[in-house]
């Protein structure tokens, strides 16, 4: 399976959802990290690192 940039937001969202279910107090941190990741993906910053 090849992970493309279209799959990354879905994977990040899945991980964030699981973390929030397991540890609800992490909600602020998980949401902040999720938003930062989506912003970096949207700007294409991850392509600079060849990810």
Domain-located, residue 40 = yes
Domain containing residue 25: 17-46
- Is residue 3 one of the residues assigned to a domain? no
pTM for this prediction: 0.54
Residue 50, pLDDT score: 62
Structurally, how many domains does the chain consist of?
1
What are the tens digits of pLDDT across the range 1-51?
Answer: 566 666 777 887 788 788 888 888 878 888 888 888 888 878 877 677 665
Residue pair 12/37 in contact (Cβ under 8 Å)? The answer is: yes
Which residue stretches of the chain are H helix?
8-22, 27-43, 45-48
Tell me the C-alpha to C-alpha distance, in Å, between residue 47 and each of 13, 40, 42.
20, 10, 10
41 within some domain? yes
């Amino acid at each position: 399976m090849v992970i493309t940039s279209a799959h990354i937001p879905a994977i990040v969202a899945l991980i964030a959802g699981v973390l929030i279910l397991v540890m609800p107090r992490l909600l602020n941190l998980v949401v902040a990290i999720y938003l930062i990741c989506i912003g970096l993906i949207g700007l294409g910053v991850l392509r600079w690192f060849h990810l």
